[in-house]
Chains A and B, each alone.
Chain A
């Protein structure tokens, strides 16, 4: 069974399908009506997505029109004086996501390798369940925990407010850990058993087999795991908002307050009007573009994986 944590994944084509299958599929008009109802259910996600993009575009229109592209992508944010540059927040988002991935991905990958190659079945189950539980912990709770334990710790070690990119990256590392670990484990598991057996029969040790055979074969899936982890980090709001500061300034170091796209939207949506508010919607569009980019990257990797290894190592 594949992971429920894997957001990009939809079940692939069935081994067998109804297409061209048994005849006499429907009985009369009632069944046709049911089929249409179900089809409408299926289309709701598409309609919802379309509405979302349309309304975000509509709301951000004043920002594009009155502030303009160069103003929006400048470093200067001061709505009172007509400056709507979002660069600070874009940099903040990139920094905390990259930091979260750098801290979280190695631990996640090592855990995945343990689950795949070393764990006894009982431990495999326990840690697998643990990752599922970790994935289910609300982000507001991780934020609260970061605010009450991590921030004082960082403050006592580095001085200042204790808020900034470092604590935010640490919270995000925990958030992406289950995503990356489960998907990476699934792609390691998908490497055919015979690969490992062939390697063992040549006298290779377990570590040699992992390093030279299993991990290289599973790498597209591992890359996908990291990209999806990055996607989760980019969009995270509450957990970051409680430990990032906030302050509308480029961070001078890892422990000075700054802002991200999500936290800026969260904190100012309630009390802004006009072009200021509209520019927050423009930030939401930028976020949307970033996550779409990552999804495209995942697609590209899947295609590459299928070309290189038609048997299919990618579970996600």
Chain B
């Protein structure tokens, strides 16, 4: 009897968890998708004092920032993970790096944001810019990329490396031609999931990139306004725009769709790579 009750209870809990997710996605899409899918909204110019504005520059900023950050954080993270998994002998150095990444990954995004403001925006004189934001987000997402990459490198059977070395390849040759290709599906999944996190980030960007622009930024040294940060702008100062609730709902739906596409696409992409390369494990 108690056993039956416990089973029902846990099943109900899981159902509630799933319902919470469905509720969140459902409400955001119901309230905003109608607005978000209109080209005049998604690519349109924002309005300040009157209705009917779009989020074109914000949409572009989000894509730009995500691309820029990914181009920095993925090579760095993969390099670092490669070092930890394949090249390190120095136990003390490895422990130091692990301690550093572990600490970084526990820090709040608003703390990254104000550090980015002080260090990249002011001290390095980058100003409010895509580059300052991308550098801040690189530091913030480095631990995730490193962890995912290291896990997929460590999952490669040791015999692969031995086969390569026995043919006379050096360690770097082994890493480049054997280890990295075999780890590629895992690394890709991690990279795409990280892109989703970058696109959704707001707290670290308000004081590094900006929250509102009229025109799409061209140079990485220009200020920008990613969608997530722009929703914050609408929330705090949106009353200037008569239909700010509509704009924010539409922007939230657009952002959610982008993040969901990245999250759900990550696994599929990895599967495709695996299939193409004929990787079995």
Closest Cβ of chain A to B263, distance in Å, is 5
Give the CA-CA distance A110 to B21 in the complex, in Å. Answer: 16
B residues within 8 A CB of A136? 193, 196-197, 200, 259-260, 262-263
Interface-central residue, A27, A123, A142, A237, by most chain B CB under 10 Å = A237
A residues within 8 A CB of B146? 10, 45
Asked whether A238 is an interface residue with its Cβ less than 8 Å from the other chain, the reply is yes
A residues within 8 A CB of B280? none
Give the CA-CA distance A287 to B260 in the complex, in Å. Answer: 30
Q: Per a CB cutoff under 8 Å, which of B11, B102, B197, B260 touches A295?
A: B102
Asked whether B206 is an interface residue with its Cβ less than 8 Å from the other chain, the reply is yes
Q: In the complex where A8-B105, A235-B108 touch, is A114 in contact with B84 (Cβ < 8 A)?
A: no
B residues within 8 A CB of A4? 144, 147-148, 190, 193
Give the CA-CA distance A148 to B206 in the complex, in Å. Answer: 22
* Cβ-defined contact, A288 with B83, below 8 A: no
Which stretch from B35-43, B228-236, B271-279 is at the chain A interface? B228-236
Asked whether A74 is an interface residue with its Cβ less than 8 Å from the other chain, the reply is no
Looking across the interface, which residue of chain A has its beta carbon closest to that of B18?
A130
Q: B178-211 toward A: CB 8 Å interface, digit per residue (1/0)?
A: 0000000000001001001101111100110000
A residues within 8 A CB of B202? 138-140, 238
Give the CA-CA distance A43 to B80 in the complex, in Å. Answer: 8
* Cβ-defined contact, A7 with B28, below 8 A: no
Asked whether A310 is an interface residue with its Cβ less than 8 Å from the other chain, the reply is no
* Cβ-defined contact, B6 with A207, below 8 A: yes
* Cβ-defined contact, A181 with B17, below 8 A: yes
Give the CA-CA distance A236 to B21 in the complex, in Å. Answer: 19
User: How many residues does chain A have at the interface if contact means C-beta atoms less than 8 Å apart?
Assistant: 97
Asked whether A205 is an interface residue with its Cβ less than 8 Å from the other chain, the reply is yes
User: How many residues does chain B have at the interface if contact means C-beta atoms less than 8 Å apart?
Assistant: 102
Q: In the complex where A118-B11, A145-B28 touch, is A59 in contact with B118 (Cβ < 8 A)?
A: yes
Give the CA-CA distance A9 to B143 in the complex, in Å. Answer: 10
Q: In the complex where A34-B172, A56-B111, A145-B27 touch, is A139 in contact with B106 (Cβ < 8 A)?
A: no
Looking across the interface, which residue of chain B has its beta carbon closest to that of A49?
B100
Asked whether B160 is an interface residue with its Cβ less than 8 Å from the other chain, the reply is no
Closest Cβ of chain B to A5, distance in Å, is 10
A-facing residues in B89-109 (Cβ within 8 Å): 89, 93, 96-109
Asked whether A61 is an interface residue with its Cβ less than 8 Å from the other chain, the reply is no
* Cβ-defined contact, B108 with A262, below 8 A: yes
Q: Per a CB cutoff under 8 Å, which of B79, B102, B144, B206 touches A38?
A: B79
Asked whether B86 is an interface residue with its Cβ less than 8 Å from the other chain, the reply is yes
Which stretch from A13-21, A75-83, A153-161, A191-199 is at the chain B interface? A13-21
A residues within 8 A CB of B2? 205, 207
Q: In the complex where A38-B80, A55-B118, A115-B14 touch, is A18 in contact with B165 (Cβ < 8 A)?
A: no
* Cβ-defined contact, B170 with A42, below 8 A: no
Q: A87-113 toward B: CB 8 Å interface, digit per residue (1/0)?
A: 000000000000000000001101101
* Cβ-defined contact, A9 with B24, below 8 A: no
Asked whether B20 is an interface residue with its Cβ less than 8 Å from the other chain, the reply is yes
* Cβ-defined contact, B170 with A236, below 8 A: no
* Cβ-defined contact, B200 with A18, below 8 A: no
Asked whether B117 is an interface residue with its Cβ less than 8 Å from the other chain, the reply is yes
Q: Is the interface of A mostly helix, strand, loop or mixed?
A: helix
Give the CA-CA distance A123 to B113 in the complex, in Å. Answer: 39
* Cβ-defined contact, B107 with A235, below 8 A: yes
Asked whether A70 is an interface residue with its Cβ less than 8 Å from the other chain, the reply is no
Q: Per a CB cutoff under 8 Å, which of A43, A141, A208 touches B200?
A: A141
* Cβ-defined contact, B143 with A7, below 8 A: yes
A residues within 8 A CB of B203? 139, 237-238, 262, 266
Give the CA-CA distance A108 to B21 in the complex, in Å. Answer: 13
Give the CA-CA distance A108 to B16 in the complex, in Å. Answer: 10
* Cβ-defined contact, A237 with B109, below 8 A: yes
Q: In the complex where A237-B109, A266-B203, A292-B106 touch, is A18 in contact with B86 (Cβ < 8 A)?
A: yes
Give the CA-CA distance A219 to B142 in the complex, in Å. Answer: 30
Looking across the interface, which residue of chain A has its beta carbon closest to that of B199?
A138
Give the CA-CA distance A136 to B257 in the complex, in Å. Answer: 12
A-facing residues in B135-185 (Cβ within 8 Å): 139, 142-144, 146-148, 150-151, 154, 158, 162, 165, 170-173
* Cβ-defined contact, B100 with A11, below 8 A: no
* Cβ-defined contact, A127 with B14, below 8 A: yes
B residues within 8 A CB of A107? 13, 16-17
A residues within 8 A CB of B20? 134, 174, 177
Give the CA-CA distance A236 to B200 in the complex, in Å. Answer: 13
Q: In the complex where A141-B256, A206-B3 touch, is A37 in contact with B79 (Cβ < 8 A)?
A: yes
Q: Per a CB cutoff under 8 Å, which of A19, A142, A295 touches B103?
A: A295
A-facing residues in B244-259 (Cβ within 8 Å): 245, 248-249, 252, 255-256, 259
Chain A to chain B: the 9 pairs with minimum beta-carbon distance, closest first? A235-B108, A138-B200, A110-B13, A41-B79, A46-B100, A38-B83, A114-B10, A207-B6, A42-B80
> Would you give 11 A-B contacts (Cβ < 8 Å), ordered by A?
A4-B148, A11-B150, A14-B154, A18-B171, A39-B87, A45-B142, A52-B115, A174-B20, A235-B106, A267-B236, A292-B103
A residues sitting closer than 8 Å to B (CB atoms) are 1-2, 4, 7-11, 14, 16, 18-19, 22, 24-27, 31, 34-35, 37-39, 41-46, 48-49, 51-52, 55-56, 59, 107-108, 110-111, 113-115, 117-119, 123, 126-127, 130-134, 136-145, 147-149, 174, 177, 181, 205-208, 210, 231, 234-238, 242, 262, 265-267, 269-270, 280-281, 284, 287-288, 291-292, 294-295
